[in-house]
Amino acid sequence: MTRSFIAVALGLLALPTLLATPATAHEAEAWSFAIHGGAGTLSRENMTPEREAEYEAALQGALDAGAAVLRDGGTAMDAVEAAILLMEDDPKFNAGRGAVFTWEGANELDAAVMDGRDRTAGAVTGITAVKNPILLARAVMRDGRHVFLSGAGAEEFAREREIETVAPEWFQTAPRREALERMKADQLSAYDVDHKFGTVGAVALDQAGNLAAGTSTGGMTGKRWGRIGDAPIIGAGTYADNRSCAVSATGAGEYFIRVGVAQEICTRLRLAGDTALEEFDNGQSEGGGEITLTDALVENVADAVMAEVKELGGDGGVIVVAPSGAAVFSFNTSGMYRGRATSKGVNEIAIFAED
């Protein structure tokens, strides 16, 4: 009996009909992919059609890059990397080129990746000269001796690994500098000045049934004192575990760290699966102890965890994929740059909550 199964503790009682037809957790050759380019206060009225089209094209490009890897039988981790690389190089997003400015007028980048097969992970923070922090995070993961490197040490490691470096000017863009200046002049908070979180992330399920997650960001405008957000913190902004799900978050990092959002979602899914198996073993249920993690069930758990973020005062969102192929979004803002594609023919991008 396959003991890979998934369920949702909170959803078990509330959504009995969804559990009526248990199935294997992962169908052979099924793949699934989701990306985000940040959540926030986004409304159609405040965006020109040209700007909207630019974002849509950028999201579609990143989605297609990752989906192509998965369609061709590539790994979930390669798909995550392919999509994030494109978004890091795109100045529209707050990651790599186009990152927000710190209080001192620098760009300090964070990134993380995690492989759901064995929960290996790599993360970097305070990066100022590596063109694509996601590549550095992956190199840390591959090296395996450490999980989380910071600042000068991380950059020394990058040089040793011959990972491309750039001058600090590469990351600087006029709109991001203007945001810092406005923040200082009008004594605004990062939330007032940014309106949206432009962090980028991707989560994937490959044909072999493996999950991976990655997130890359410049953090929040005007951050000080070496502030680190949730994105590079394994368990907060990024997490992947083949037994449950892969998650990448965007939003007010402090709250995501406090809730431990990414791991909390995965843990709830995993424990619900354990409960289902236990009940089957005890003869309390039928169906082989296997439960398909439908989109609705994953959404239910992601929404419950995002509600906790909201309760503490935080805004943002997550993307989640599960072994069943479920690819879902959950966010408590008026929009999130997002996209998803699956082997079942789903291929969509969206920006506003009503889309």
Residue with tokens 């926030």: 40
Query: Which part of the chain contacts ligand ASP (CB under 6 A), choosing from 27-35, 57-65, 146-154, 228-236?
Result: 228-236
The answer to whether residue 238 forms part of the interface with ligand ASP (CB under 6 A) is no
The answer to whether residue 289 forms part of the interface with ligand ASP (CB under 6 A) is no
Binding mask 32-61 for ligand ASP (x = CB under 6 A): ------x-----------------------
The answer to whether residue 315 forms part of the interface with ligand ASP (CB under 6 A) is no
Please tell me the number of Cα atoms within 13 Å of 213 on its side-chain side: 38
* 176 C-beta neighbours (distance < 10 Å), count: 22
Query: Which part of the chain contacts ligand ASP (CB under 6 A), choosing from 130-138, 179-187, 197-205, 344-352?
Result: 197-205
Query: Which part of the chain contacts ligand ASP (CB under 6 A), choosing from 59-67, 136-144, 162-170, 193-201?
Result: 193-201
User: How far apart are CB 169 and ligand ASP at their closest, in Å?
Assistant: 22
The answer to whether residue 339 forms part of the interface with ligand ASP (CB under 6 A) is no
Contact yes or no for 135/163 (Cβ under 8 A): yes
Residue 290 has phi, psi (to 5 degrees) of -100, 140
The answer to whether residue 331 forms part of the interface with ligand ASP (CB under 6 A) is no
Stated as kind and residue range, the H or E segment containing 14 is helix 9-14
Question: How many residues sit close enough to ligand ASP to count as binding (CB under 6 A)?
Answer: 15
The answer to whether residue 235 forms part of the interface with ligand ASP (CB under 6 A) is no
Contact yes or no for 200/215 (Cβ under 8 A): yes
Nearest to 272 by CA among 322, 308, 210: 322
Contact yes or no for 75/212 (Cβ under 8 A): yes
Q: What is the 3-state secondary structure (H, E, C) of 253-275?
A: HHHHHHHCHHHHHHHHHHHHHHH
**The pair of three-digit structure tokens given for residue 171, joined into one six-digit string:** 């990351």
Interface pick for ligand ASP out of 197, 329, 331, 337 (rule CB under 6 A): 197
Angle at 84 between CA 116 and CA 107, to 5 degrees: 115
The answer to whether residue 230 forms part of the interface with ligand ASP (CB under 6 A) is yes
The answer to whether residue 94 forms part of the interface with ligand ASP (CB under 6 A) is yes
Please tell me the number of Cα atoms within 13 Å of 97 on its side-chain side: 13
The answer to whether residue 323 forms part of the interface with ligand ASP (CB under 6 A) is no
User: How far apart are CB 222 and ligand ASP at their closest, in Å?
Assistant: 12
Catalytic residue among 199, 217, 333, 342: 199
Q: What is the DSSP string of 279-302?
A: HHHTTS--STT-----HHHHHHHH
User: How far apart are CB 95 and ligand ASP at their closest, in Å?
Assistant: 8
Contact yes or no for 231/215 (Cβ under 8 A): yes
Task: Report helix, strand or coil for 113.
Answer: strand
The answer to whether residue 220 forms part of the interface with ligand ASP (CB under 6 A) is yes
The answer to whether residue 198 forms part of the interface with ligand ASP (CB under 6 A) is yes
| 292 is an active site residue | no
- Footprint on residues 249-268 left by ligand ASP (CB under 6 A): 250-251, 253
Active site residues: 199
- Residues interacting with ligand ASP, by CB under 6 A? 38, 94, 197-199, 217, 219-220, 229-231, 237, 250-251, 253
